[in-house]
Copies of this chain bind each other. A is one copy, B any other.
Amino acid sequence: MNEQSNGLVSRVTGTVHVIGAGLLGASVGLGLRERGVTVTLEDLSPTTVALAADYGAGRARTADDPEPSLVVIATPPDVTADVIERALATYPSAVVTDVTSVKLAPFLELTRRGIDLTRYVGSHPMAGRERGGAIMARADLFKARPWIVCRDGETPAGALALVEAVALDLGGVLLEMTPEEHDRSVGLVSHLPQVVSSLLAARLVPAPEQAIGLAGAGLRDTTRIAASDPELWVQILGANRAPVVDLLDAFGADIAEFADALRDPDRPGAKRRIADLLADGNRGVARIPGKHGSSDRFTAITVLVDDQPGELARLLTELGDLGINMEDLRLEHSPGAQIGFAEIAVLPEVAERATADLIERGWRTL
């Protein structure tokens, strides 16, 4: 490790070469530069390289540069395999990793081509933003996010350590999976919800205005990610085809089963089946970690907040004054309404006192 002048320690040794200087690539560069690592950049677009360099993500690679110790590939999913192959050939002693959100397809494609993948370690930081580009890059994009590393039996310890060093330098939380486990997992927790949310939102396109006017927080939450970039998702879903098709088939069968039970509710067991499927939903959502969705771990207090600047800040300040630790916060606001609802999650044991304290201070709770 090298202690840098700014006090940040780098685990990475040698030079890192980043191919693809968009959001993820430029963010890798920025984060490593903060730790004093030498970062060189490459992109199909010279403008993108120049922009990322201006941002402080590294500098364009020159013919005089020595071979990098690590190549990080952050290109769109559909060219990842080609770029990995080229990087392994161009830098014959470098370790090569990629940050693509699908891991099995490029691995199988390269194996099919007979490429020696000993120096390749796939990885996937679970970070991203709805808008891409170097202009959105940040050194702390990966901070506190899961960073999955896919090794295999052939992976030398040194290669693995170098990729892990990058993940840790960038603040990621390391997880190890096989490419198959990774792709099935992200299929379930990311790709299936994306398709479901998109198709649910697509149902709103032909709906009458008055129906849309009744939309509440439930519809808004279930369709939020439907705003994601279609072009990127065509690539991601295409690259993780088999697991996503399996998941969609199973989910579609659930929808059909539910519809059938509801169509003929007097059939023996139909009402029970509907209730069981809804109860399974309760059990499923309770498994999700994190502060959102963990309604079994926290109690929600809904506070009415006037739609005026500073009101929410005043509420949170008073919560602090009262010593109430807020575990989560959700806002809801009806169009045209002069009032909003702030749902505050607190530990169950403090909920009653917190509510009483807020009411005493003049807040209205639901």
Chain A interface residues toward B at CB < 8 A: 126, 129-130, 136, 138, 140-141, 143-146, 148, 173, 175, 177, 181, 184-186, 188-190, 192-205, 207-208, 210-228, 230-231, 233-234, 237-238, 241, 244-245, 247-252, 254-256, 258-259, 262-263, 265, 271, 274-275, 277-293, 295, 300, 302, 304, 309-310, 312-313, 316-317, 319-320, 323, 325-326, 328-339, 364-366
Contacts and interface: CB of A to CB of B under 8 A. Distances in A.
A316 B144 CA distance: 23
B221 A225 contact: yes
A292 B224 contact: yes
Most B-side CB within 10 Å, residue of A221, A300, A323: A221
**Cβ-closest 9 pairs across A and B:** A198-B281, A144-B337, A313-B316, A201-B284, A204-B284, A202-B280, A185-B211, A230-B278, A226-B281
A141 B366 contact: yes
A329 to B, nearest CB: 5
Contacts of A195: 255, 258
A366 to B, nearest CB: 5
B205 A287 contact: yes
Given A227-B285, A290-B220, A145 B277 contact: no
A309 to B, nearest CB: 6
A66 B250 CA distance: 59
B252 A252 contact: yes
Contacts of A326: 312
Nearest to A289: B335
A215 B195 CA distance: 15
A330 B120 CA distance: 38
Contacts of A262: 237-238, 241, 244-245, 248
A210 B177 contact: yes
Q: How many copies, total?
A: 2
A224 B286 CA distance: 9
Q: Which applies to chain A's interface (DSSP): helix, strand, loop or mixed?
A: helix
A297 B357 CA distance: 36
A251 B285 contact: no
Contact of A214 (B186, B218, B245, B284): B186
A292 B198 contact: no
A348 to B, nearest CB: 12
A203 B284 contact: yes
A114 B214 CA distance: 32
Nearest to A252: B255
A331 B201 CA distance: 22
A130 B228 CA distance: 29
A276 to B, nearest CB: 8
Nearest to A317: B313
A138 B355 CA distance: 13
Contact of A317 (B225, B248, B280, B317): B317
A290 B193 contact: no
Contact of A194 (B181, B218, B250): B218
Given A144-B334, A277-B199, A281-B197, A210 B185 contact: yes
A136 B352 CA distance: 12
Contacts of A192: 200, 203
B202 A284 contact: yes
Contacts of A274: 234, 237-238
Contact of A366 (B140, B181, B222): B140
Given A199-B251, A210-B185, A329-B329, A265 B238 contact: yes
A100 to B, nearest CB: 15
